[in-house]
Amino acid sequence: MANTKSIHGEWSSRFAYILATTGSAVGLGNIWKFPYITGENGGGAFVLVYLGCVLAIGIPIMIAETMMGRRGRQSPINTLSTLSTEANASKYWRYLGWTGVIAGILILSYYSVIAGWAIAYVFKAIFSGFSSDAAIVNASFDDLIASPVQLIAWHSIFMVATMTVVMQGVKGGLEKAVQLLMPTLLVLLLLLVAYAMSTGEYFFEGLSFLFHPDFSKISSDAVLTAMGHAFFTLGLGMGAIMVYGSYLQGGVSIAKTTLYVAGADTIVALLAGIAIFPLVFANGLEPGSGPGLIFQTLPIAFGNMTGGWLFGILFFVLLVFAALTSSISLVEPMVAWLIENRGFTRVNASVISGGAIWALGVSVVLSFNVWSDFKIFDKTIFELLDYLTANLMLPIGGFCIAVFAGWVMQQRHVRDELALPEQQYRIWKFLIRYVAPTSVFIVFLHVLGLF
């Protein structure tokens, strides 16, 4: 029998749930990662594949993951054991919850380091303002990346902030933070887009880079990255959305709320791209310059704008908060499990998980400087963790979620939980049973050179 309520509490309203889930979805993935991987993978065609993946794979799986969370009402590991018992399926399904917990730990270890860069930029801006000279901006980024001590300090601050919010539990910390932050971030992004428009011809060059697909530029690995990013940006495939769904009260339409969240997430990513690429071209920068892209372009805009100092500070503060509302959802599956299965208090569970992730994060910091030559499969530790999680673990997790919701769960339970009109239910069912899993599978075959 499905549980009716989670022991960890519930969102106070549907709106609070939408905000928190949007908080989990919108983060560094939209503003930092989407622009730089789009730049590295040639632009338009990559964006189109990413958008296709959000529609055909991401949204159906997001509905499935939320539905499973709400039905199981526990940490993803226990939810999967409960739901597999309910469906008379193998107990091994709970390992899917485990891989999710591990993916969350691995992602947060580097996510926190990048969020640390954003914190560093807040302070850099306050004390020395923004330069409008691309060379100075570049040099300042290189200096930051070269200093393990600084990076570890910023990473530590971000981890402490994350775990402090997680300690407060679902409602206390999270809900309040997001309500103010999300709308303000959107306004600032619009402001940056307006600034990008003022670059004239470069604005159109930026748009054309983003929206004019040239399929000759896209490799099979780029297709995998685009698909992986659809999972990463929506926060799918590792139990984050499942655990948020477990705090959602019955009666709220999962499909509708998912569409809002996925829509908001996509809009924020596209706006970030529209704001950044005109600046890249106007300043003769390289679109494919890698993870430093927004840190090397946006300061130039702030340096040139009237009032840019203040907007810039505000922007990086908001970026840190956007990262925070995502990082919380990355550890929540592990914290919920430690509480449920190991009898930890929320505080102890948070300290233990936070400590472990912090330690792993230190190796990510070093991979940007001292250990930058240390490579496994030709990737630094940062690149390897990113590839392993976003491109492999999340899509594989998502694939298993699609199979579980589409084929393993009893359809009357799924119907009950989703409460969709018949035709919409059929569309979703078709997507979750056939389209989503096959697409993920085909992309993997393609990368292996088998398709």
**What minimum distance in Å lies between the beta carbon of 120 and ligand PFF?**
18
Nearer to ligand PFF, 30 or 74 (CB): 30
Query: Exactly one of 18, 20, 25, 163 binds ligand PFF (CB under 6 A); which one?
Result: 25
Q: According to the binding rule CB under 6 A, does residue 38 interact with ligand PFF?
A: no
Nearer to ligand PFF, 75 or 329 (CB): 329
Query: Which tokens hold the place of 238?
Result: 């590792």
Q: Which residues contact 264 (CB under 8 A, 6 or more apart)?
A: 22, 25, 26, 182
If one counts every other C-beta atom within 10 angstroms of the C-beta of residue 295, the result is: 23
In angstroms, the CA 239 to CA 259 distance is 18
Q: According to the binding rule CB under 6 A, does residue 109 interact with ligand PFF?
A: no
Binding pattern to ligand PFF, positions 158-187, x when CB under 6 A? Answer: ------------------------------
Nearer to ligand PFF, 235 or 308 (CB): 235
Radius of gyration of the chain from its Cα atoms, rounded to whole angstroms = 21
Query: Which tokens hold the place of 52?
Result: 């296709």
Q: According to the binding rule CB under 6 A, does residue 238 interact with ligand PFF?
A: yes
In angstroms, the CA 421 to CA 26 distance is 29
In angstroms, the CA 115 to CA 244 distance is 22
**What minimum distance in Å lies between the beta carbon of 272 and ligand PFF?**
11
Q: According to the binding rule CB under 6 A, does residue 28 interact with ligand PFF?
A: yes
Q: Please say whether the dihedral angle defined by the alpha carbons of residues 196, 199, 203 and 209, taken in this order, is positive or negative.
A: negative
Q: According to the binding rule CB under 6 A, does residue 235 interact with ligand PFF?
A: yes
Q: According to the binding rule CB under 6 A, does residue 264 interact with ligand PFF?
A: no
Nearer to ligand PFF, 33 or 94 (CB): 33
**In this chain, which stretch among 27-35, 86-94, 156-164, 395-403 interacts with ligand PFF, using CB under 6 A?**
27-35
Query: Exactly one of 81, 84, 162, 233 binds ligand PFF (CB under 6 A); which one?
Result: 233
The size of the interface with ligand PFF (CB under 6 A), counted in residues, is 15
**In this chain, which stretch among 20-28, 171-179, 273-281, 429-437 interacts with ligand PFF, using CB under 6 A?**
20-28
Reported as type and span, the H/E element at residue 325 is: helix 308-342
Q: According to the binding rule CB under 6 A, does residue 232 interact with ligand PFF?
A: yes
Q: Which residues contact 377 (CB under 8 A, 6 or more apart)?
A: 384
**Tokens 């340096």 correspond to what residue?**
303
Report the phi/psi class of residue 2: left, alpha or beta, with left for phi > 0 and alpha for psi in -120 to 50: beta
In angstroms, the CA 407 to CA 409 distance is 6
In angstroms, the CA 152 to CA 169 distance is 26
Q: According to the binding rule CB under 6 A, does residue 116 interact with ligand PFF?
A: no
In angstroms, the CA 208 to CA 211 distance is 5
Q: According to the binding rule CB under 6 A, does residue 72 interact with ligand PFF?
A: no
Nearer to ligand PFF, 177 or 282 (CB): 177
Whether residue 356 contacts residue 105, with contact meaning beta carbons closer than 8 Å, is answered with: yes
Whether residue 8 contacts residue 247, with contact meaning beta carbons closer than 8 Å, is answered with: yes
Nearest C-alpha neighbor of 65 from the set 194, 234, 219, 265: 234
Query: Exactly one of 23, 27, 116, 273 binds ligand PFF (CB under 6 A); which one?
Result: 27
Nearer to ligand PFF, 110 or 277 (CB): 110
Q: Which residue is nearest to ligand PFF (CB)?
A: 29
Binding pattern to ligand PFF, positions 301-330, x when CB under 6 A? Answer: -------------------------x--xx
Nearer to ligand PFF, 112 or 380 (CB): 112
Nearer to ligand PFF, 314 or 324 (CB): 324
If one counts every other C-beta atom within 10 angstroms of the C-beta of residue 217, the result is: 13
Residues that bind ligand PFF (CB under 6 A): 24-25, 27-30, 107, 232-233, 235, 238, 240, 326, 329-330
